[in-house]
């Protein structure tokens, strides 16, 4: 009996705890219910408080200014727009748009919980996917701005609900298709059908509809004229999404797309494309640029840009029509692009963004690497020709015209543009050290999916850098080379190259402002020594633009012939660093109107000199920095007979620290040889 009483006493606390837990659960449930109801009432109240405008916001063109924020560079705006009824849009085209933007469109009430969850999963997996429905996108495009804020998102949500209550699904889809921006100044699907395919909407095929659907996400980036690979990748993704929904069963092939035809077809059109791309990368969409009356202050200088266009036209007048030219100038103090010429008109290739072998314009990077390692520009090296190096695997290296200089300083080697001394420096310090210096100064790690400054498929050492980097064997773009020379001009400080200074909305609000963090790529004293050497090059070649300047020419040989395929001039003053490239769309012999082979020291150097002179006309002359005379000036690598001369005792090679990642000796690429590197000693700079 006592045992039963004891058990009953012990059970009462447990019973009280369970009762208390049940009461807390009831209270918690009630509280959640009340809060949910309250939140629901708040949401309903907020939705009711947001007014649905009667008409969409009027489309406004945007204005691009030069860097003075006063002179107009261009006006960018929608010029091609007419509405069509939904019945004029084939069902497969509508389905392509929905597969791309809102697969649950006919199943939700303006917002999609499933879409939000799908986007969350995608974003967690490292892929970017939006959660806005077609209705929300229409609300944003028709009535709101493109700014990213909680207030704008809340209004978008409220307007979407009101739109769903006021219009049918087909009416909303019709309005959406007629107001979305598809790129190429095409506002609405009728304009897009003509801009991309030259047809009316009722004649669009399913494959063509997918192309248009792809541009909605990124009108510039997914335009096949701007990035064919990205456009086709997006096209394939949409086709697969449509198949998953059962909307598409037939096999599709990527259709032929019309060449982009825009109102501004001159050289500035390419600049506008670069500006549009940079804005999109920083959150200002192509649609906003073309429809919301933005004021965009670019980094372009009106005088420099005008000089670039004018001097290219002047120097190319009467020359063979298949010659291509690129000219890029940057401000060494900020990285802002002052002038950019990538071709005669937009919608074509931007030659300033195309990579070509850098030839001798790469030698200053070798010099910078040597200075960093404590080797002076006055150090002496064997400039004999030909010479054999382990990295050449039995193939001798020649100087242009077989010039001989068995005891030559690096400065003199640069002035004479000798190959063998700079190759010797690179073998001593390691090719990877030169590559790393190039990346530090402004050459990117990769171009697209292809690593820069390394052997590619079919080369002797895929994925590795060979000592041939010393003589410009690897390809770089004119724009990136301008950044490198801008870093030299800026005292070793590298700035990110950019086109846009600031963006302001039609209401005066600042939407974006460029903010670049300088990077110290090279010691100031070393940059001064590089400048001193390159100033001597400019003086020796007679290409000084009426003010102190530094620079280097370069010429890339065409195969094993006496012709050239690329000709360069890269140089700078303290205010402006610029690069000129002349070549062809497809590598081949480049000759002037007289049939003479074009080399860096003739047409490119003349163009660079004239451009620099005109771009800086009227501005104060700024002196170049004095040399710091860094490093050891002794004989590092001289010919045996030269080493016996007074002061000719070589510096022991073990006193120069090699690169820890120095690559093993490799063979030379067979298809593209640097000028002067083949057994036949010929002219180069």
Q: Which residues face 76 on adjacent strands? A: 62
Catalytic residues: 101, 360
Contacts of 124 (CB under 8 A, 6+ apart): none
3-state secondary structure 596-644: CECCCCCHHHHHHHHHHHHHCCCCCCCCCCCCCCCCECCEEECCHHHHC
**Residue 369: helix, strand or coil by DSSP?**
helix
Q: Which residues face 340 on adjacent strands? A: 328
Contacts of 245 (CB under 8 A, 6+ apart): 95, 99, 103
What is the b/e burial string over 124-133, where b = at least 16 CB atoms within 10 angstroms of the residue's CB? eeeeeeebbb
CB 522 within 8 A of CB 372: yes
Q: Which of 58, 67, 168 is nearest to 576 (CA)?
A: 67
What's the gap between Cα 140 and its chain centre?
Answer: 29
Q: Which residues face 292 on adjacent strands? A: 60
Q: How far from each other are the two terminal CA atoms of the chain, in whole angstroms? A: 114
C-alpha torsion sign, points 661, 664, 665, 667: negative
CB 444 within 8 A of CB 497: no
Question: How are beta strands 295-298 and 62-65 bridged, if at all?
Answer: parallel
Distance CA 117, CA 477 (A): 42
What is the b/e burial string over 259-287, where b = at least 16 CB atoms within 10 angstroms of the residue's CB? ebebebeebbbbbbbbbbbbbbeeebbbb
CB 555 within 8 A of CB 684: yes
Distance CA 20, CA 577 (A): 78
Length of the chain measured in residues = 685
């Amino acid at each position: 009996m006592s045992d039963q009483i004891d058990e009953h006493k012990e059970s009462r606390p447990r019973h009280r705890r369970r009762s208390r837990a049940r009461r807390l659960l009831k209270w918690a449930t009630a509280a959640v219910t009340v809060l949910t109801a309250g939140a629901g009432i708040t949401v309903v109240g907020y939705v009711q408080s947001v007014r649905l405008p009667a008409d969409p916001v009027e489309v406004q063109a945007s204005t691009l200014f030069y860097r003075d924020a006063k002179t107009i560079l261009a006006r960018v705006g929608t010029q091609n727009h007419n509405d069509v009824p939904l019945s004029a849009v084939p069902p497969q085209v509508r389905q392509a748009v929905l597969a791309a933007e809102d697969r649950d469109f006919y199943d939700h009430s303006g917002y999609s919980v499933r879409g939000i969850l799908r986007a969350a999963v995608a974003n967690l997996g490292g892929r970017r996917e939006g959660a806005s429905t077609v209705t929300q996108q229409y609300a944003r495009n028709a009535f709101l701005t493109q700014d990213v804020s909680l207030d704008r998102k809340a209004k978008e949500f409220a307007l979407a609900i009101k739109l769903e209550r006021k219009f049918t699904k087909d009416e909303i889809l019709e309005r959406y298709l007629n107001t979305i921006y598809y790129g190429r100044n095409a506002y609405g699907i009728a304009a897009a059908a003509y801009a991309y395919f030259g047809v009316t909407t009722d004649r669009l095929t399913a494959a063509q509809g997918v192309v248009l659907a792809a541009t909605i996400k990124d009108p510039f980036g997914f335009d096949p004229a701007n990035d064919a690979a990205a456009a086709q990748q997006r096209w394939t993704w949409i086709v697969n999404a449509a198949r998953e929904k059962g909307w598409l069963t037939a096999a599709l092939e990527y259709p032929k797309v019309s060449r982009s035809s825009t109102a501004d077809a001159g050289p500035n059109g390419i600049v506008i494309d670069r500006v549009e791309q940079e804005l999109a990368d920083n959150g200002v969409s192509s649609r906003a640029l073309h429809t919301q009356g933005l004021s965009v202050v670019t980094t372009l200088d009106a005088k420099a840009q005008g000089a670039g266009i004018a001097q290219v036209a002047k120097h190319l007048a009467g020359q063979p029509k298949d010659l291509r030219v690129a000219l890029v100038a940057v401000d060494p103090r900020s990285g802002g692009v002052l002038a950019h010429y990538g071709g005669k008109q937009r919608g074509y290739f931007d030659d300033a963004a195309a990579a070509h072998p850098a030839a001798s314009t790469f030698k200053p990077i070798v010099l910078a690497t040597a200075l960093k390692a404590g080797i002076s520009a006055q150090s002496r090296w064997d400039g004999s020709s030909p010479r054999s190096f382990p990295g050449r695997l039995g193939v001798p290296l020649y100087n242009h015209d077989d010039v001989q200089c068995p005891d030559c300083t690096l400065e003199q080697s640069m002035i004479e543009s000798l190959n063998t001394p700079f190759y010797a420096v690179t073998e001593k310090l390691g090719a990877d050290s030169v590559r790393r210096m190039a990346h530090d100064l402004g050459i990117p790690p990769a171009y697209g999916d292809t690593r820069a400054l390394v052997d590619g498929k079919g080369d002797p050492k895929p994925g590795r850098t060979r000592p041939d980097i010393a003589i410009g064997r690897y390809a770089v773009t004119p724009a990136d080379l301008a950044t490198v020379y801008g870093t030299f001009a800026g005292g070793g400080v590298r700035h990110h190259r950019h086109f846009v200074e600031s963006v302001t909305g039609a209401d005066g609000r600042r939407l974006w402002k460029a903010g670049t963090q300088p990077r110290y790529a090279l010691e100031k004293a070393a940059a001064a020594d590089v400048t001193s050497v390159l100033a001597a090059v400019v003086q020796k070649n007679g290409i000084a633009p009426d003010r102190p300047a530094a620079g280097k020419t370069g010429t890339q040989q065409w195969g094993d012939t006496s012709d050239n395929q690329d000709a360069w001039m890269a140089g700078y003053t303290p205010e402006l660093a610029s690069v000129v490239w002349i070549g062809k769309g497809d590598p081949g012999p480049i000759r002037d109107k007289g049939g003479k082979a074009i080399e860096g020291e003739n047409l490119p150097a003349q163009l660079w000199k004239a451009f620099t002179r005109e771009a800086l006309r009227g501005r104060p002359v700024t002196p170049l920095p004095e040399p710091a005379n860094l490093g050891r000036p002794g004989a590092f690598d001289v010919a045996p007979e030269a080493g016996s001369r007074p002061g000719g005792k070589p510096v022991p090679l073990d006193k120069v620290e090699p690169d820890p990642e120095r690559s093993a000796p490799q063979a030379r690429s067979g298809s593209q040889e640097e000028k002067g590197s083949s057994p036949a000693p010929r002219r180069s700079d």
